[in-house]
Amino acid sequence: MYDLIPLIPLLPILGFAFTALFGRRLMLKYGRTAAEIVPVGAVVIVWLIALSVIGPALTHAEPFGETGYNVKLWTWIPAGGFNVDLGFHVDALTAVLLLVVTTIGMLVHIYSIGYMAHDKATWRFFAYLNLFMFSMLVLVLADNWVLVFGGWELVGLSSYSLIGFWYHKRSAALAAKKAFIVNRVGDVGFALGIMAIFVNTGTLNIQESLKILIEKPSAELVIPLGIVALLVFCGAMGKSAQFPLHVWLPDAMEGPTPVSALIHAATMVNAGVYLVARANPLFSSAPEAMVIVAGVGIFTAILAASIAFTQTDIKRVLAFSTLSQLGYMFAALGVGAYGAAIFHLMSHGFFKGLLFLGSGSVIHAVDGEQDMNRMGGLAKKIPITHATMLIGTIAIAGIPPLAGFFSKDEILGEAFKFGFYWVWGIGVIVAVMTAFYMWRLMGKTFYGESRVDPSVAPHVHESAWQMTLPLVLLAIPSIGLGMAVGWPLGSGALVGWLKPIFEESEIILARTPTEELFGLPINAVLVVISVLAALVGLLTAVYLFGIGRRKVNQPRIDAISNANGATRFLYRASLNKWWFDELNHLLFIRIGGRVAAAMWWFDRTVVDGTVNGVGSVTRSAGGGLRRIQTGRVQNYALGIAIGLIVMAGSFLVIVGLPR
């Protein structure tokens, strides 16, 4: 049965190849269903195979055990002491990621059948989606760093192709380029990190290298652990869009919505979290790097949440929300709560995927409009979308007993228990903000009076079953996942499953969590605080943006947005995303442009001058020599004959006659 593991990445790449080669012809000849059946079918089969692997892998059944199961296919690059295997490693952590990637991937494929039903190049879309599935699965399954890096770059590539799927739209093409380039910055760090690991350990196998890294005395390491950890974290920052490499993710929303749901909310952006969790012994051995991870994470969380306050594009709100939630995950990784981070990754994958697909359904309903100021009052017209998005919102806001409550609370709880009070404090504020901006999104989209374009309003309709079915299916884990694997808090089933993965870290960190606070069980106190925080945010938003038929409290909103002083500054900062794009523009376009211009001058005069000088000398010499190139065979043959005579003659003269 477990021989099927290689099929998990193999089927999507075959689907990609098939669809890329024959998809267009199939679509033109037999309609879009013919082109869709192979890629979607491949992913559904992959999902089934993955399910058969996930169960035993999570529960440490044979042959997985606690350490995981290795499938070595062949040696990819054998070069003396440098060996790269093509092999897969499946343990509980892999299984969690497999569950998220294949399930959401499968649902997004089905959803896309409906969402892309009017597109001219559906086959291309599905080909890219399959390529993405392949890359992501390789990244998750790989048992060595080089293969991880390969998957890492391939997800970047497929993300690029999918963001720029509507390449004739200039903003989409630019956004794709931005995502690719910003990711590249992080990838350089990751590549250097891999090299550093190899230099330190002499192996590229993930498990082996981590073992050596933590067992070797630090004096024997060529490159200090802290630097290795930070380099790896660099890659994670790029892929998971953490400050300051977060600028690409909001722009990535130019891609089709299913892509935003799959890649930019549920799977690819989690790769960074996965990477850090996978390398957890490395990070645990480098406490200074851990603090940086936690700081970057929680800072991104509050920064992105503050920007989400004022955005009016429905997908951008969700994009900033994703940034913010990813920040939570990194904060969890930074405080050493790896299990909590993976738990949040999982639950966030489901409810954010749900929210994105729901927003896609909304956009589909109002004929491509993404501005929330031109929505409103849609709750009755698209009831399934409304209901499922409501579930997603409550889940992300952290109201028990939905999934988000459990995972978020576990992060905040562990941060507090391990003594990171600042992480906990900012985290609680972010929880308030999350609940607020999410309800703002709900209120502006579904409640109050309709602001939909009058020409579109009569056509507003619920989406096809291919689109609503994934919504309903995703709502189920959004509700029940937390109760199923996260209860009781801090010692749920998931914690047990992941325990062997993070055991080394537990030993290295050797922390004893605080168990009581003011004489009360700490869990209870913290739960009450987070639930209160969520409720405060939610109720404020309900007061401002309405619920049901209740109208939006416009005068109050205007009063806030037109206020003076600090509020005004904050409002404008949020609206302008804290001017990061402008800062980048100044740094890299204006100042960088000056530097580049200077370089260009140098290149043109000095470098080109030299090159052109050499060129013209060669040219004139060639012009002279050209005369002897008559193009006649016999002239050349005479040359050969003379050469022969000269050589034979000089041989005779130099060596002398033999006698």
Partner 1 sequence: MLSVLNGLSQSLDAYLILSGILFAIGSFGFLARRNAISMLMSIELMLNAVNLAIISFGAFSLSLKVDASVIALIVMAAAAAEATVGLAIVIAIYRNKKTPLVDEYDAMRQ
Partner 2 sequence: MTLPATIPLLGFAWDDLLFMTLAGIMILCALAVVGMRDIIRSGLAMIICFAALAGLYVLAGAPVVAAAQVLVYIGAISVLVLFAIMLTQTKDAPRALVFQTQVVPAGIASAVLAVLIAITVAATDWPTAGARLWTNTTELAKTLFADFTLPFEVVSVLLLSAVIGGVFLAKRERGAD
Applying CB under 8 A, the residues found at the interface with partner 1 are 629-634, 637-638, 641
Q: Which of 455, 512, 564, 634 binds partner 2 (CB under 8 A)?
A: 634
| Residue 657 engages partner 2 in binding (rule: CB under 8 A) | yes
Tell me whether residue 592 or residue 639 sits nearer to partner 1 (CB atom). Answer: 639
Tell me whether residue 1 or residue 633 sits nearer to partner 2 (CB atom). Answer: 633
Q: Residue 627 touches which of partner 2, partner 1, none (CB < 5 to 8 A by kind)? A: none
Kindly state the smallest distance separating residue 630's Cβ from partner 2, in Å: 10
Which residues lie closer than 8 Å to 43 by C-beta, 6 or more apart? 11, 12, 15, 102, 105, 106, 109, 129, 130, 133
| Residue 659 engages partner 2 in binding (rule: CB under 8 A) | yes
Kindly state the smallest distance separating residue 633's Cβ from partner 1, in Å: 6
| Residue 524 engages partner 2 in binding (rule: CB under 8 A) | no
Q: Mark 449-460 as b/e (b = at least 16 C-beta within 10 Å).
A: ebbbeeeeeeeb
Kindly state the smallest distance separating residue 651's Cβ from partner 1, in Å: 16
Q: Which of 583, 586, 606, 645 binds partner 2 (CB under 8 A)?
A: 645
| Residue 641 engages partner 2 in binding (rule: CB under 8 A) | yes
Q: Residue 650 touches which of partner 2, partner 1, none (CB < 5 to 8 A by kind)? A: none
Helix (H, G, I), strand (E, B) or coil at 255: coil
Q: Which amino acid is at 585?
A: H
Cβ neighbours around 440 below 10 Å, total:
25
| Residue 649 engages partner 2 in binding (rule: CB under 8 A) | yes
Q: Which stretch binds partner 2 (CB under 8 A): 220-228, 245-253, 587-595, 643-651?
A: 643-651
| Residue 21 engages partner 2 in binding (rule: CB under 8 A) | no
Instruction: Provide DSSP, 156-223.
Output: HHHHHHHHTSSTTSHHHHHHHHHHHHHHHHHHHHHHHHHHHHHHHHS--BHHHHHHHHHHS-GGG-SS
| Residue 648 engages partner 2 in binding (rule: CB under 8 A) | yes
Cβ neighbours around 504 below 10 Å, total:
18
Cα separation, 281 vs 149, whole angstroms: 19
Separate counts of helices (H) and strands (E) for the chain: 27, 4
Q: Which amino acid is at 487?
A: W
| Residue 650 engages partner 2 in binding (rule: CB under 8 A) | no
Cα separation, 200 vs 223, whole angstroms: 7
How big is the site for partner 2, counted in residues (CB under 8 A)? 13
Tell me whether residue 548 or residue 639 sits nearer to partner 2 (CB atom). Answer: 639
| Residue 636 engages partner 2 in binding (rule: CB under 8 A) | no
**Tokens coding 488:** 């009781």
| Residue 170 engages partner 2 in binding (rule: CB under 8 A) | no
| Residue 624 engages partner 2 in binding (rule: CB under 8 A) | no
| Residue 595 engages partner 2 in binding (rule: CB under 8 A) | no
Kindly state the smallest distance separating residue 624's Cβ from partner 1, in Å: 16
Q: Residue 648 touches which of partner 2, partner 1, none (CB < 5 to 8 A by kind)? A: partner 2
Q: Phi and psi of 517, rounded to 5°?
A: -145, 125
- Which of 404, 495, 477 minimizes the C-alpha distance to 93? 495
| Residue 642 engages partner 2 in binding (rule: CB under 8 A) | yes
Kindly state the smallest distance separating residue 622's Cβ from partner 2, in Å: 23
- Which of 401, 393, 488 minimizes the C-alpha distance to 447? 393
| Residue 629 engages partner 2 in binding (rule: CB under 8 A) | no
Kindly state the smallest distance separating residue 228's Cβ from partner 2, in Å: 59
Q: Residue 629 touches which of partner 2, partner 1, none (CB < 5 to 8 A by kind)? A: partner 1
Kindly state the smallest distance separating residue 239's Cβ from partner 1, in Å: 55
Q: Which stretch binds partner 2 (CB under 8 A): 69-77, 127-135, 284-292, 635-643?
A: 635-643
Q: Which of 30, 32, 652, 654 binds partner 2 (CB under 8 A)?
A: 652
Q: Which amino acid is at 297?
A: G
Whose tokens are 């009016």? That residue is 312
- Which of 158, 144, 410 minimizes the C-alpha distance to 278? 144
**Tokens coding 427:** 């985290």
Which residues lie closer than 8 Å to 585 by C-beta, 6 or more apart? none
Q: Which of 217, 519, 631, 658 binds partner 2 (CB under 8 A)?
A: 658
Cα separation, 599 vs 564, whole angstroms: 45
Q: Residue 633 touches which of partner 1, partner 2, none (CB < 5 to 8 A by kind)? A: partner 1
Kindly state the smallest distance separating residue 645's Cβ from partner 1, in Å: 10
**Tokens coding 350:** 């489901």
Cα separation, 645 vs 642, whole angstroms: 5
Kindly state the smallest distance separating residue 70's Cβ from partner 2, in Å: 49
Site for partner 2, rule CB under 8 A: 634-635, 638, 641-642, 644-645, 648-649, 652, 657-659
